[in-house]
Amino acid sequence: MSVYHFENNQLVKVEGEVQELLDKHDGSLEKLFNESGWYEHEEHEGVYTLYIPEGSMTVDNILYGYAYALWIEDFASSYPWVMLIGDDLNEYFAAMKLLEPLFTKASFLNGSFEA
């Protein structure tokens, strides 16, 4: 699983502590988020699952400074990836816009796409 940070409308691959911590959890995003005080907020099948922190985080938390985590679940990919987004609504909406093709694809594959 790859982890990316979204900033300035770009995906930047995360190296270091977050990726190492994910590897220690055998790639289990749920374990990592549960131990870091995050929970599943919403899911859009075939597109993403959104995780957000529960309450305020401490500075020593590995995910401190992030407000959103999207576990991207593209139908065509057997290799999910994660997008971490800071506490900035502009960045959040820009990231969601980046996912529009996945929403279209998921709608088409689910049979709910209208031409």
Taking only the tens place, the pLDDT of each residue in 1-53 is 678 888 888 888 887 766 676 677 666 677 778 777 888 898 887 788 889 98
Containing structural domain, residue 16 = 2-109
Residue 75 lies in a domain: yes
pTM: 0.77
When divided into structural domains, the chain yields a total of 1
Which residue has tokens 């020593």? Answer: 60
Tell whether 103 is covered by a domain.
yes
Would 54 be classed as within a structural domain?
yes
Q: Is residue 79 part of a domain?
A: yes
Inside any domain, residue 81: yes
Q: What is the pLDDT of residues 84-95, one digit of tens each?
A: 999 899 999 999
- Closest Cα to residue 40, out of 73, 5, 62? 73
Domain contains 114: no
Which class for 114: exposed (0-12), middle (13-18), buried (19 or more C-beta within 10 A)?
A: exposed
